[in-house]
Amino acid sequence: METPSTHLTGETRAERERLAGLFGDLAPEQWDVPSLCDGWRVREVVAHMTMPFRTKPLGMMAGLVRARFSFNRYADRDARSTARAMSEAELLGLLRRNIEHPWRPPGGGQAGALSHDVIHGLDVTEPLGLPSPPPERLALVLASAGDKQLKYFGVDLGGRRLTATDADVSVGEGSVVMAMTAKEILLVVTGRRALTEARERSR
């Protein structure tokens, strides 16, 4: 019988494979399109997605020290320097070779690994108009989105509960229910899209 952990592992691998296929078809100019990550182009996002596969613990600690223990500052520097140092083909090759990599973020488990790939995948696919993950995969990410995650992304739902129209999942515990697609909910709770815009796009 498949366990929740093995299911998440399979979905993580499927998402990495899906994204590697999409990124492999990008035209050269698409790598320089601004992503949903403020200040990053597509190439910086892809570089960031490869960070778990090319960074050793000691190297990460050294980078954090130089960044005065700010992970966001460290991640930004790493993404920019890697995007300059590696070609599109090298970044893509790194992704493809690590589809089955067992990395899990500290404290995040396998759900955190899936969230990392799905969210940053959307950072690329949305501005490029490329397909998004299946709603069921998005729902797995949303299922782990609690108050801690909302606070991390600086999102306040203002007493609203967002309910997916295409998957069995909701976020928030407010009395005001707003229905929208799982993709739009994820973009809202990660601070990528305003709630009003997401609701309009779901109509």
- Do 160 and 45 meet the contact criterion of CB atoms below 8 Å apart? no
Q: Which residues pair with 57 in a beta bridge?
A: none
**Is a pLDDT exceeding 70 seen at residue 177?**
yes
- If you average pLDDT over residues 179-196, what whole number do you get? 96
pLDDT higher at 106 or 43: 43
pLDDT higher at 127 or 106: 127
- If you average pLDDT over residues 73-93, what whole number do you get? 97
Residues of the chain with pLDDT > 90: what percent? 77
Q: What is the pLDDT of residue 17?
A: 98
CA neighbor of 161 nearest in space, from 185, 134, 190: 185
pLDDT higher at 61 or 8: 8
- If you average pLDDT over residues 100-104, what whole number do you get? 95
pTM for this prediction: 0.94
Q: What is the pLDDT of residue 4?
A: 86
Q: What is the pLDDT of residue 99?
A: 98
**Is a pLDDT exceeding 70 seen at residue 1?**
no
